Amino acid sequence: MRFELRERWGAQPLWARWVLTVYLIGFVEGTGSHVADLVRGGIHAYGSFPQVSLQVFFVSLVILDPLTAVLVGLARREGIWLASAVMVLDVSANWWGNRHWLRDDPGQLLWLLPITVFGLFVVAFAVPTHRAVAGAASKLPTALPSA
């Protein structure tokens, strides 16, 4: 497995390795952030959001973020698509759930800047990174099952 992982990463163009690395850092940080929120606040850590659907989504990121990190770390195409879907939902949920700050105190929205920039990065590089990962995967030798 370790050798296969090294081959998968080594087969990527340099720019794709950098993008995958940024994806990994972002999703590992997201995992830590959501785990810390749950440790501090328990299952109701996101109770400040009035919509139950947003609360459930943010709790579910404790599973979705590390799953995404693992798939991206394995240089899997599924990880690229999952990363895009998670970030579109995460950024949208954060902006929707904090929209009251637009009229109350717009300066508070600055804390949404990092997640928004990361989300835009993930989505902007999704298609080219998916193509690079798919192309690299097609060039790898396939292991034959042993008899």
Report yes or no on 145 lying in a domain: no
Total domains, the chain: 1
Q: Is residue 110 part of a domain?
A: yes
Q: What is the pLDDT of residue 146?
A: 44
- Residue 20 located in a structural domain: yes
Q: Which of 36, 118, 27, 39 lies closest to 66 in space, CA to CA?
A: 27
d(CA 111, CA 109): 5
**143 located within any domain:** no
| Residue 144 domain flag | no
Give the rounded percent of residues in the chain with a pLDDT score beyond 70: 93
Q: Answer yes or no: is 147 within a domain.
A: no
Dump pLDDT digits (tens) for 24-78: 999 999 999 999 999 999 989 999 888 999 999 999 999 999 999 999 999 999 9
